[in-house]
Structure 1
Amino acid sequence: MSKFIHQTLPHHHHHAIIIPCPFQGHINPAIHLSLRLASIGFKITFINTQFIHSQITKAHSSEPGPGPESNNIFSKARESGLDIHYITIYDGFPLDFDRNMNSLPFLEGLINGFVDHVDELVGKLIEKDDSINCLVADTFFVWPSIIAMKYNMVHVSFFTEPALVFALYYHLHLLQQKGHFGSHENRKDIVDYIPGVKSIKSSDLPSLFQNSVVHQLIYKAFQDVRKADIIIANTVQELEPETITSIQEKHSFYAIGPIVSANFTDLTIPSSLWSEIDCTQWLDAKPHGSVLYVSFGSVALVNKEDILELAHGLMLSEVNFVWVLRFNFLGQDEKSILPDGFEGKVKDRGLIVPWCNQMKVISHSAIGGFLSHCGWNSVVESIWCGVPLICSPLVTDQLANRKLVVYDWKVGINLRDGESITREEVRDKIKYLMNEEISSNLRKTIAQVKETFYSALATNGSSNVNFNKFVEELTMKISLVREH
């Protein structure tokens, strides 16, 4: 039962459409935001793509009780009294189209064709129910302001990453002008001209692969976000004060994070795109803080050479580990990726799984560290559980997230000191992190940042206060829209 259900529900005349980007790291925060808004009386219509829904259904089909097989991942939430409706939308590609192996054509479709399907669906929804007055859309969509304006809705842009990344993407034009992005110069100097960002190394800027499609997506999305009525972000005021203040000089921007499954609701909503292996029994048999969790997230862009060095480093470190390794993403099978005899050599201390419930694993008392790609959800969840990080960022925002983790907040260490990973570096960094005595300062710091997270969500905490201010402004803007 949701812990918010028994509050008064003052916003029962408000009806919001919520639509996340069709990627695991964007869907989970959108689900928790939906539950939070529904718990204070909002009527919610949550839209997933048909492909995402089919993935969730397949992943959870063997689970007992009401789930996505009923065509509503929110069935338990509805049973508890929350007014959440769930529908799916065609994304422009057949269900059997491999969106990961063909990521660039898929992104092109999200940029150019998806808006037509959204327009058609929203039009039909509003024909049936004219109470819809708010659109909460992921910041990485390029069309929300067009749809919101056409159907007379308040436009809330939901940014699922930190304010630092928002500021960098927002000022992409400055990075281009100065030659730090899209230039043949390949500049390596410090960037110190982004409003709200004191300084950042070129190596910590989000990588866009110099790719025209990804660049086009981000550029268009951050043109569109300028027209949003309100922006909300999955970050914490106290941890990024200068950056947030700078954004607030231009926009109505609220830091309402951390948005993790442990804080907004007690309800479990099926959202994983892959079947989860339960690691609990294996972890229960391991000593407190003795296990390293290794995962590179849902879009694993790790090459074979790095996998081999990681595997050798894990063997050399002699620590216990759980390693999430999705071989299908690498286009190869397990035997051709891992070193000969790897599983035999680590069988008593290593568990390799294709996917798991990350929060369930890293909140287990046996976990003492997290070797991560620094996806924002992973960073947030690791801090929430007080687990220090070894950072090995791969692409996009992960490089800037590492800056926050390693250099600003000092809750993790960097793995990639050179261009590539070496097994010796992997071994040494793991041994450092997993030795509680040697890494005691890191552990004290993450305990403090964890406390900042928890405090932000307390009754008078910054994120809770900001959430209430956001709802207040949203309510006011909905009233103005109605009047017109």
Structure 2
Amino acid sequence: MAAAAAAASASAASSGGGRRRRVLMFPLPFQGHLNPMLQLAGALHARGGGLVGITVFHATFNAPNPARHPPGYRFVPVGEGLPSADLIPSGSDADFAGALGRINDRLREPFRDLLRQALADAEDDEAAACLVVDSNLRGIQLVAEELGVPTLVLRTGGAACLVAYMAFPALCDKGLLPPASQDKVQLDMPLDELTPLRLRDMVFSRTTTHANMRRCLQDLLDAGSSSSGIILNTFQDLENSDVQKISNGLGVPLYTIGPLHKISSGTEGSLLAQDQTCLKWLDKQEADSVLYVSFGSLASMDEKEMLETAWGLANSQMPFLWVIRHNMVKSSHQMSIPEGFEEATRGRGMVVTWAPQQEVLGHHAIGGFWTHNGWNSTLESICEGVPMICRPQFADQMINMRYVQEVWKIGFEIEGELERGEIEMAIKKLLCTEEGRQMRLRAKDLQDKAVKCIEEEGSSKSAMESLLKRIMSF
């Protein structure tokens, strides 16, 4: 079956007349954006029938490790020597839109020189086909356009998120954004044209100015509408209606080829060292019994939230695997787990600084996932049939949470201040009740659909073949 798929992919790639082509790529240098781009690179390289080469342009900070990728990949650092301290947002309350603007401004000129050089050095039998660029890098895309390189845009978020971004200007024009007040009634106002979203779900950052946020989202939409096509890390059976809204609204070809982590060639792009020992610990646990707790690579909490989370986990009496990044807790001093926690949870809990998340979620022992609802985490959980406890903080996380809770009905939100009693009840609800069991069954149904979409005749497999044909046609 694998051989047949490879042959079919090679046939699709050869629609370019048998020419070797090189795909240029430029990921946004954050973990949640870098991984999908490298997964896409792996998928194109593996399915290109030997005709697709990969060149990854990347910022010098948060750089991918070339040793983790196949021979033949080229990695080109951009912006060596440039200051980068203000380009790396830290914590959930950081100004991400501001950082995105600075990344575009600072890397644009160095990239122009490097791209011009790459085009001049290209061999006749392996010309650059196009640049696949993260949708947040409009400045990088403009450079490619100036030098005559076609662009494809990778959206690392879900289709529903892009639909919400498309609606943002109209909500501003109506006077709904920014919200006139923090009144709960106003913030909970349903947005009829964006069901199931509320006004509060469109407040993507509490630290970025409204003008900067509007400019950031406009650049993102311009990147999509001026490209030769948008690549979406989702699948039709999950977000079909929202995919159609994007197609109608932006008017460019869409390639719904996700879930990317399921079709990539296994290249590993984590910027943090993964603790593999947790997998052996999970081997000793009962099926569907463990709560996996991880809030991604950027989300954060304060010391009080850390304390309540710890004792909520302890008091639940349920097994857990908890990821505590070194910079996860906002504190002026080194933060450690509270006194007495280790003793109270000995034998049924494990704490690590970073975990191999895809392997963890796919482990038979995992019964639920307490997540910040970044799109990668949400999609990975769906693909393994794992229901979720949701604690979104910024950007698209609130949108993803609403779909998990209201549309797919495979999880629920912990709202308001974190409190140990509420946490304990939420964990037991997910792992120990009939309501939680029904969420797990619905999640398993979505898992089945995710599997089918990448098989022969599946929607994502067809979209990947179309994408390869498009790339080879440039």
Q: TM-score, normalised by structure 2?
A: 0.87
Matched, 1:411 2:418: no
* Structure having greater relative contact order (Cα 8 Å, sep ≥ 6): 2
For residues 188-231 of structure 1, what are the alpha-carbon distances to aligned partners after superposition, in whole Å with 9 as ceiling and x for unaligned? 322124xxx44521233252226134543333222332211111
Aligned residues: 448
Question: 1:64 is matched with which residue?
Answer: none
Question: 1:190 is matched with which residue?
Answer: 190
Letter aligned with residue 274 of structure 1: L
**From 129, 132, 146, the counterpart of 2:122:** 129
Q: 1:119 to 1:135 in 2, by over 3 A?
A: same
Partners of 1:72 and 1:86 within 8 A in 2 = no
Question: 2:174 is matched with which residue?
Answer: 178
Q: 1:100 to 1:198 in 2, by over 3 A?
A: closer
Partners of 2:303 and 2:330 within 8 A in 1 = no
Letter aligned with residue 141 of structure 1: L
Query: Take 1:115 and 1:306, find their aligned partners in 2: how far apart are those partners?
Result: 39
Q: 1:173 to 1:334 in 2, by over 3 A?
A: same
Q: TM-score, normalised by structure 1?
A: 0.86
**From 57, 62, 73, the counterpart of 2:68:** 73
**From 446, 457, 471, the counterpart of 2:454:** 457
Query: Take 1:91 and 1:247, find their aligned partners in 2: how far apart are those partners?
Result: 37
Question: 2:437 is matched with which residue?
Answer: 440
For residues 247-296 of structure 1, what are the alpha-carbon distances to aligned partners after superposition, in whole Å with 9 as ceiling and x for unaligned? 1123224242433434332x3x2411111111122111211111110000
Question: 2:254 is matched with which residue?
Answer: 254
Aligned-pair CA distance for 1:372: 0.3
Q: 1:252 to 1:107 in 2, by over 3 A?
A: closer
Question: 2:74 is matched with which residue?
Answer: 85
Question: 2:373 is matched with which residue?
Answer: 374
Question: 2:345 is matched with which residue?
Answer: 346
**From 33, 39, 52, the counterpart of 2:40:** 33
Supply the RMSD in Å over aligned alpha carbons: 2.5
Matched, 1:360 2:359: yes
Partners of 1:19 and 1:136 within 8 A in 2 = yes
TM alignment of 1:282-361, pairs within 5 A: 282-332=281-331, 336-361=335-360
Identity %: 25
Q: 1:467 to 1:270 in 2, by over 3 A?
A: closer
Letter aligned with residue 312 of structure 1: W
Structure 1 gap ranges (5+): 57-67, 479-484
Partners of 1:406 and 1:414 within 8 A in 2 = yes
Letter aligned with residue 363 of structure 1: G
Query: Take 1:175 and 1:92, find their aligned partners in 2: how far apart are those partners?
Result: 41
Partners of 1:373 and 1:391 within 8 A in 2 = yes
**From 120, 123, 137, the counterpart of 2:113:** 120
For residues 313-367 of structure 1, what are the alpha-carbon distances to aligned partners after superposition, in whole Å with 9 as ceiling and x for unaligned? 1111111111001133435499745332212211211111111111111111111
TM alignment of 1:89-168, pairs within 5 A: 89-90=78-79, 93-94=82-83, 99-101=88-90, 104=95, 106-129=99-122, 131-168=127-164
Q: Secondary structure at the match of 1:200?
A: coil
Aligned-pair CA distance for 1:434: 1.1
Partners of 2:87 and 2:103 within 8 A in 1 = no
Query: Take 1:170 and 1:340, find their aligned partners in 2: how far apart are those partners?
Result: 48
Query: Take 1:98 and 1:109, find their aligned partners in 2: how far apart are those partners?
Result: 7
Moved more, 347-356 or 98-107: 98-107
Aligned-pair CA distance for 1:132: 1.2
Partners of 1:235 and 1:257 within 8 A in 2 = yes
Partners of 1:322 and 1:351 within 8 A in 2 = yes
Q: Secondary structure at the match of 2:254?
A: strand
Letter aligned with residue 167 of structure 2: H
Question: 2:269 is matched with which residue?
Answer: 271
Q: Secondary structure at the match of 1:439?
A: helix
